């Protein structure tokens, strides 16, 4: 055993980069909402980037470590502490047996990620460790973590030499999480039905902020917009959708599909959030505003490539820093 949930969070699950290859059976991919933060957490502890991590929402689980481990917390800032002492985001931390990790306040962002060196000992379901809540499969018994759950880490590491009698130790390097992208806009690409929006609706789409409503979870973010018009057209038969697809619902409101989206849908697809901005989007909370800006495929691909290069560089740097400890 390596860690135990001593108090349950609102919805904390095991997630990796998602389960692909089964959407033709209606099995949605799941996976981390903020895959950038999830990969940074893995890089910091020297894991493969696709290793499964814990995705935490606020209020989050209280976690007791039952053996020394190396961990990293990334993504949302929930004001974390170990044994009551504040600990930083985006840094490796060696924890000791009986250390307790707690999250106190939702300071910024919506989802935090906890990676453990070596990853979790857990069965794969259809080649992935992601929790699929709909299918109640994958991850930890196919469900969110509860009080008393015990997770085993694969780590064989000997961490006592890091600790020198101390309770826990924060490793002295930080991941630069922002990757230079501080723009407030969420970049989008036109969807198949973009042209069915009248000019005034398109203008509103790109010119006014859209508030995220309370209906914002792993499945999708409902937006609280003034109803948008759409030109009449034939009713659509269902077809595949994807993470980031923005659909126009019959009442004129928008929904952005997120990690637990259905595999197919029959509503007009007016736009798609570019993949490089999924991470930024996943950290938005209810009542926050989204500013959409149109871009093109070339830019979308370049930004994604840049983001992935940044994570790779970070991974290499962390592996180098971790060498003396190996």
Partner 1 sequence: MGYVRVTKKHIIFNNTPMTTPTLSYQLFPLGDSALTLDWGNRIDEAINLEVMARYQQFRHQQFPGFIEAVPAYSSLTVYYDPVFIRKLLPAEGTAFNYVRERITEIMAVELTYKETNSRMVRIPVCYDASLSPDLEHILEENKITVEELISLHTGRIYRVYMMGFLPGFAYMGEVDEQLAMARKLRPKSTKAGSVGIAGRQTGIYPFTSPGGWQIIGMTPIELFNRNRKEPTLLQAGDRVQFYSIDKYEFAHY
Closer residue to partner 1, CB minimum distance, 37 or 49: 49
CB contact set of 308 (below 8 Å; sequence gap of 6+): none
Closer residue to partner 1, CB minimum distance, 132 or 283: 132
> From the CB of 192, what's the least distance to partner 1, in Å?
6
Cis omega before residue 108 (within 30°)? no
Distance, C-alpha 48 to centroid of its chain: 16
User: The tokens 């893995």 sit on which residue?
Assistant: 42
247 binding partner 1? (CB under 8 A): no
Q: For partner 1, what does the binding mask look like between residues 69 and 88, x meaning CB under 8 A?
A: --------------------
Region binding partner 1 by CB under 8 A among candidate stretches 91-99, 106-114, 130-138, 152-160: 130-138
> From the CB of 11, what's the least distance to partner 1, in Å?
18
Closer residue to partner 1, CB minimum distance, 59 or 142: 142
Token pair listed for 321: 């820093």
User: Of 227-246, which residues contact partner 1 (CB under 8 A)?
Assistant: 234, 236-242, 244-245
| Of positions 50, 67, 134, 177, contacts partner 1 by CB under 8 A | 134
Q: Give phi and psi for 247, each to the nearest 5.
A: -100, 150
CB contact set of 77 (below 8 Å; sequence gap of 6+): 89, 107, 108, 109, 112
Q: For partner 1, what does the binding mask look like between residues 12 and 51, x meaning CB under 8 A?
A: --------xxxxxxxxx-----------------------
Q: Is the CA virtual torsion 278, 214, 225, 236 positive or negative?
A: positive
Task: Write out the E strands in 156-244.
Answer: 169-174, 185-190, 210-216, 220-223, 239-240
Within 180-272, residue ranges assigned H as helices are 199-207
| Of positions 45, 87, 300, 314, contacts partner 1 by CB under 8 A | 300
Contact between residue 188 and residue 293 where contact means Cβ atoms under 8 Å apart: yes
User: The tokens 């939702």 sit on which residue?
Assistant: 106
Closer residue to partner 1, CB minimum distance, 9 or 265: 265
CA distance 201 to 24: 34
Q: For partner 1, what does the binding mask look like between residues 158 and 197, x meaning CB under 8 A?
A: -------------------------------x-xx-----
Site of interaction with partner 1 (CB under 8 A): 20-28, 125-126, 132, 134-137, 142, 189, 191-192, 234, 236-242, 244-245, 262-265, 269, 272-275, 297-298, 300-301, 304-305, 308
């Amino acid at each position: 055993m390596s860690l135990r949930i001593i108090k349950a969070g609102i919805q904390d699950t095991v997630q990796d980069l998602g389960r692909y290859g089964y959407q033709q059976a209606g099995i949605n991919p799941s996976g981390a909402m903020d895959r950038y933060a999830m990969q940074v957490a893995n890089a910091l502890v020297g894991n493969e980037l696709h290793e499964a991590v814990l995705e935490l929402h606020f209020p989050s689980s209280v976690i007791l470590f039952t053996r020394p481990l190396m961990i990293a917390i990334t993504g949302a800032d929930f004001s974390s502490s170990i044994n009551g002492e504040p600990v930083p985001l985006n840094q490796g931390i060696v924890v000791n047996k009986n250390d307790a990790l707690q999250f106190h306040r939702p300071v910024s962002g919506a989802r935090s990620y906890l990676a453990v060196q070596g990853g979790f000992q857990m069965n794969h379901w259809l080649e992935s460790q992601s929790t699929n809540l709909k299918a109640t499969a994958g991850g930890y018994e196919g469900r969110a973590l509860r009080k008393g759950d015990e997770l085993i880490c694969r780590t064989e590491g000997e961490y006592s030499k890091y600790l020198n009698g101390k309770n826990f130790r924060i490793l002295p390097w930080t991941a630069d999480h922002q990757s230079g992208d501080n723009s407030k806009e969420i970049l989008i690409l036109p969807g198949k039905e973009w042209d069915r929006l009248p000019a005034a609706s398109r203008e509103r789409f790109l010119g006014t902020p859209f508030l995220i409503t309370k209906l914002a979870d792993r499945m999708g973010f409902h937006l609280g917009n003034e109803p948008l018009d759409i030109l009449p057209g034939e009713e659509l038969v269902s077809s595949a959708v994807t993470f980031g697809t923005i659909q126009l619902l019959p009442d004129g409101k928008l929904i952005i599909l997120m990690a637990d989206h259905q595999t197919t849908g029959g509503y007009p697809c007016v736009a798609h959030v570019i993949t490089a901005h999924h991470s930024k989007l996943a950290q938005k909370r209810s009542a926050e505003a989204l500013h959409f800006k149109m871009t093109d495929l070339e830019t979308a691909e370049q930004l994604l490539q840049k983001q992935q290069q940044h994570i790779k560089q970070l991974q290499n740097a962390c592996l180098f820093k971790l060498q003396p400890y190996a």
